[in-house]
Amino acid sequence: MANRTDVAVTIARGARIGVGPSPGLTRTLARGLTRFAVRQPLGAIGGLIVLALTVTATFAPQLAPHGAKDAAFTQYLAPSAEFPMGTDQLGRDILSRVIWGARLSLYVGVVSVAVGITLGGLCGVVTAYFGGLTDSASQRVVDVLMALPPIVLALALMAALGQSVNNVIIALTILLTPTAARTLRSVALSIKESPYVEAARAAGCTHWRVIFLHVLPNSFATYIVLFTVNVGYAIVVEAALSFLGLGAPADEPSWGGMLTAGTQAMESAPWMIFFPGLAISLTVFGLNLLGDAIRDLTDPRLRGGLG
């Protein structure tokens, strides 16, 4: 069973044997990854998908044959050698837009989730640890934010901020923060009661040391899982917003926007909806598989089987 201790020990052993850090590290990483793949095949598939997404997003300028907004071609062309995914209602190459869309989706998803979960998570952890009035007060704030229906909150935010990619990120961040705060707070609460934290406090560690050295690292697994799952959620929420007319501006190659435009021509130009739909579902699917697998691995309660 690959866990952090195993890997750490293996690395240390490799270093001691004197093979040198680089080849030893690579080999142990490779071994760790293979063990992961065998142990969690679904997670490995998810990981591959996420990797493909990241590569596509990073190398979009090199990979995409055309710009995302080039409308110079014939409209509604079926997939062909020249346009492997066809063209849309303005004559733009769908393959290019899907590739650029990967960058946009990843950018929107990662930034909003990173900021939202980090902010929310930190809040949750810190207030849980200190408890008392700050905890109650912040829990009321979280309650208020969670009591508001998310779609309405997102709509009102987009209407107030104006439609742009960055404002979509802001709206999504605000949506995600309260849930992260709540989840990580409960994780932190359970860690707070655990024996080694008690021991650390007894040994004289300050509160902040305890937080940073004990509580945060043990919340890390939850953080990673929340992260992967919510990037998928962010992508899907952005798609919903564009259906309601308040997502990213429609000339941007957002997969959700492309999906909405494609619903206008489902029979006459099904490629308009098929490829962005495939992109979204594969991405969210992969992210969730990966998140699930990491959760299975790192949650100490879930190791082993029933037999």
Query: Please, which of residues 78-137 interact with other proteins by CB under 8 A?
Result: 89-91
The span of 108-116, 126-134, 215-223, 283-291 binding other proteins (CB under 8 A) equals 283-291
Asked if 192 is part of the footprint of other proteins (rule: CB under 8 A), the reply reads no
Using the rule CB under 8 A, which residue among 58, 143, 207, 208 binds other proteins?
Answer: 143
Measured between alpha carbons, how far is 85 from 96 in angstroms, rounded to an integer?
Answer: 9
Q: How far is the CB of 168 from other proteins (least distance, A)?
A: 12
> Helix axis angle, 255-262 relative to 216-243, nearest 10°?
30
C-alpha distances (whole Å) from 58 to each of 63, 100, 187, 300 are: 9, 9, 34, 35
**What is the Cα–Cα distance from 294 to 217, expressed in whole angstroms?**
15
41 binds other proteins, rule: CB under 8 A: yes
Q: Which of 15, 37, 63, 71 binds other proteins (CB under 8 A)?
A: 71
Nearest approach, Cβ of 142 to other proteins (angstroms)?
A: 10
Under the criterion CB under 8 A, does residue 67 sit at the interface with other proteins?
A: no
Query: What CA–CA distance (Å, rounded) separates 24 from 163?
Result: 50
Helix/strand/coil (H, E, C) string of 139-190? HHHHHHHHHCCHHHHHHHHHHHHCCCHHHHHHHHHHHHHHHHHHHHHHHHHH
- Site stretch for other proteins (CB under 8 A), options 11-19, 27-35, 113-121, 274-282: 274-282
Q: How far is the CB of 60 from other proteins (least distance, A)?
A: 20
Taking the complex as a whole, how short is the minimal distance between the CB of residue 213 and other proteins, in angstroms? 26
